């Protein structure tokens, strides 16, 4: 038998309908879980999945797990949680019309945070399209601006290649969500299964190939290390691209090899262990004071898989004001130079780029010990802190106690709001893909369904959703999904009877006019709601002295668990860099020290003021 014949798909030539073809490509792509809600326009797909799984069970093979959410938005965030926790493509299937439009938010959310998804939406038959048919929605037009790519399959002969190509686009380059809109008549069409083949997307593949071939030349490596040699205060700025590229180990080796401190973005949490001696944690609007001050003081900024977004560089012109050189590595060419001019840039994967620089610079040495002493002093002088004497439950205290229990090992998902930022500030993350949050879109309701997706993907891993009373309401129906699938997800709810982050902004910038953000009149009993959905462990903590013991009980519980903690409703997020302000103008609150403006001369004045970089390349 020839090698060519050996590679023929075992089902090549088998007659299948369109829905069966779709499910078979799922199986070929290694899909083990699908998150989806049925409906008239996807009944053939759900039926094909059912029959596929029957065969798998008969053959003692592993079927494709189907998780049915409370609504389609939940399905999208579950698929995103699955993808964020594993790096694999998350898959969701929704019906036409409202099914597809309910999924717009998680698709846009995943696009903004570069999460690989494939969404299948059912569509009315091709002959009925454009007639305002029952449950018809213009998916191509509605989701086109929100996704990495959208396919509308009208030619059934191209369905197989389209699905395979969608997975290729979703996972390659800068990952993102791909939508395939499949009319019902295409799902019912019958034809021979080919077993291979993709669509001819030549331009996209050429760009990918160019990026793969773009190994950093010796000349560019020399330029980089010349800049590094002439720098006294280099700083690495790591973003989510480091995690997407599976480059965390290379980042750690790079930082340790050259003794360069590291700051990270919200989505870059876990790129380097947060307890590492070189880690300065998150920077930006709610970054650590010491991390933000390090950005103020550095003379060379090395951005890796980060994009200088407005929550990091709110005042772009004054971001890293003493940096005479900015080096930027990113898989997306459009990001380099978009916000800040890059004096040295490279378009490529973070992993391969760092490997290349490490290889070229194996003999490079420079003593940055004085700079390291400086950043260590910043950490000691401007640490995270809060009112530790308060009799009310402070959210920071709860997270510090939780941190002692989970030790940076749990997968943490969050909703959006104050609780999200407190978690990013006070929890440790020692590995990548342990932190999941809605970054660029900041979508309330993300936390619970994303935790479900992560738990499905990582059944042996502890998964905790840290949520707020405002955010969890958005997708609270997914509590039932946790119970339906007997998932040991832990839900830790901070209740301050408010949309806390909005309330904080109203307090700081709108004269304490709490319009629409105050939920003190909302009488929802979250504990009873969780019990009604089937949580056998569902408790509320209102006393500070009960926090530590109850947290231990909550985490140790064998199964799904829900814990509501009633916190000080006036607890705020600090530090806070107001929109358009510089890091030097950062508000650190009453318990985190702030640096005088202008910087007073101290034992580090010489290193702060010395600038010896050459002209930028």
CA angle 218, 223, 226 (to 5 degrees): 120
First to last CA, the chain: 58
Catalytic residue among 72, 136, 168, 564: 72
Catalytic residue among 88, 108, 148, 184: 184
With tokens 């510090």, the residue in question is 400
Catalytic residue among 11, 135, 462, 507: 135
Catalytic residue among 134, 509, 510, 591: 134
Q: Which DSSP string corresponds to 183-240?
A: EHHHHH-EEE--S------HHHHHHHHHHHH-PPPHHHHHHHHHHHHT-SSEEEEE-H
CA–CA distance from 255 to each of 259, 279, 310, 460 (Å)?
Answer: 5, 9, 26, 31
135 catalytically annotated: yes
601 catalytically annotated: no
CA–CA distance from 309 to each of 234, 565, 588 (Å)?
Answer: 20, 33, 21
- CA 158 from chain centre, in angstroms, equals 32
Q: Label each residue of 389-430 as H, E or C.
A: CCCCCCHHHHHHHHHHHHCCCCEEEECCCHHHHHHHHHCCCC
Residue 287 CB neighbours (<10 A): 29
Which residues does 126 contact at the CB level (< 8 Å), separation at least 6?
Answer: 154, 183, 185, 186
Catalytic residue among 119, 501, 576, 586: 501
| Cα separation, 399 vs 108, whole angstroms | 30
| Cα separation, 94 vs 74, whole angstroms | 11
Say if residues 372 and 259 touch (Cβ distance below 8 Å).
Answer: yes
**Exposed / middle / buried, residue 55 (Cβ in 10 Å: 0-12, 13-18, 19+):** exposed
Residue among 498, 490, 503, 605 at smallest CA distance from 551: 490
| Cα separation, 298 vs 231, whole angstroms | 9
501 catalytically annotated: yes
184 catalytically annotated: yes
Contacts of 204-209 with CB under 8 Å at 24 or more apart are 204/169, 204/173, 207/173, 208/172, 208/173
| Cα separation, 607 vs 376, whole angstroms | 14
Q: Is the dihedral of CA 334, 335, 338, 342 positive or negative?
A: negative
Which residues does 348 contact at the CB level (< 8 Å), separation at least 6?
Answer: 211, 212, 214, 215, 216, 329, 331
DSSP, res 444:
T
What are the strands, taking DSSP E only, across 18-172?
33-36, 65-67, 90-94, 117-123, 149-152
Residues designated as active site = 72, 134-135, 184, 501
């Amino acid at each position: 038998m020839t090698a060519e014949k050996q590679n023929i798909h075992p089902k090549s030539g088998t007659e299948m309908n369109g829905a069966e073809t779709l499910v078979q490509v799922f199986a070929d792509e290694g899909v083990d879980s699908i998150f989806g809600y049925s409906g008239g326009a996807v009944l053939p797909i759900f039926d094909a999945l059912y029959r596929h799984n029957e065969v798998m069970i008969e053959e003692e093979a592993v079927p494709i797990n189907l998780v049915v959410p409370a609504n389609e938005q939940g399905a999208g965030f579950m698929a995103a949680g699955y993808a964020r926790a594993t790096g694999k493509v998350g898959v969701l299937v929704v019906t036409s019309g409202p099914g597809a439009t309910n999924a717009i938010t998680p698709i846009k959310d995943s696009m903004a945070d570069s999460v690989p998804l494939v969404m299948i939406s059912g569509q009315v038959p091709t002959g009925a399209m454009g007639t305002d048919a029952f449950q018809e929605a213009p998916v191509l037009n509605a989701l086109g601006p929100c996704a990495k790519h959208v396919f509308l399959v009208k030619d059934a002969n191209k369905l197989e290649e389209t699905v395979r190509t969608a997975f290729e686009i979703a996972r390659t380059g800068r990952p993102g969500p791909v939508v395939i809109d499949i009319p019902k008549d295409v799902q019912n069409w019958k034809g021979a299964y080919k077993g291979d083949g993709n669509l001819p997307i030549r331009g996209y593949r050429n760009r990918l190939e160019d990026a793969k071939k773009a190994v950093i030349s010796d000349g560019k490596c020399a330029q980089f290390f010349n800049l590094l040699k002439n720098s006294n205060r280099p700083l690495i700025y790591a973003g989510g691209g480091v995690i997407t590229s599976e480059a965390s180990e290379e980042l750690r080796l790079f930082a340790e090899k050259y003794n360069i401190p590291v700051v990270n973005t919200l989505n870059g949490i876990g790129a380097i262990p947060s307890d590492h001696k070189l880690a300065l944690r998150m920077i930006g609007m709610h970054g650590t004071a010491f991390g933000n001050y390090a950005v103020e003081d550095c003379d060379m900024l090395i951005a890796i898989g980060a994009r200088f977004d407005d929550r990091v560089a709110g005042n772009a012109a004054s971001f890293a004001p003493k940096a005479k050189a900015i080096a930027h590595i990113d898989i997306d060419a459009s990001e380099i130079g978009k916000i800040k001019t890059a004096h040295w840039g490279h378009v490529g994967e973070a992993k391969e780029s760092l490997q290349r620089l490490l290889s070229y610079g194996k003999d490079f040495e420079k003593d940055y010990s004085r700079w390291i002493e400086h950043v260590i002093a910043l950490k000691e002088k401007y640490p995270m802190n809060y009112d530790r004497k308060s009799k009310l439950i402070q959210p920071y205290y709860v997270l510090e106690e939780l941190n002692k229990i989970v030790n940076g090992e749990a997968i943490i998902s969050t909703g959006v709001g104050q609780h999200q930022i407190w978690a990013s500030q006070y929890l440790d993350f020692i590995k990548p893909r342990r932190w999941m949050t809605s970054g660029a879109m900041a979508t309330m309701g993300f936390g619970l369904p994303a935790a479900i997706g992560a738990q499905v993907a990582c059944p042996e891993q502890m998964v905790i959703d840290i949520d707020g009373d405002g955010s969890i309401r958005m997708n609270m129906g997914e509590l039932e999904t946790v119970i339906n699938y007997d998932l040991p997800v832990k839900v830790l709810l901070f209740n301050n009877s408010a949309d806390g982050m909005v309330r904080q902004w109203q307090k700081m910038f709108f004269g304490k006019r709490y319009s629409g953000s105050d939920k003190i009149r909302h009488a929802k009993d979250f504990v009873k709601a969780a019990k009604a959905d089937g949580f056998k462990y569902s408790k509320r903590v209102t006393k500070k002295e009960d926090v530590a013991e109850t947290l231990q009980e909550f985490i140790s519980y064998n199964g799904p668990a829900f814990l509501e903690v009633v916190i000080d409703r006036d607890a705020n997020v600090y530090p806070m860099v107001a929109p358009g302000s510089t890091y030097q103008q950062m508000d650190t609150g009453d318990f985190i020290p702030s640096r005088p403006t202008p910087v007073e001369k101290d034992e580090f004045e010489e290193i702060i003021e010395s600038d010896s970089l050459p002209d930028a390349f």
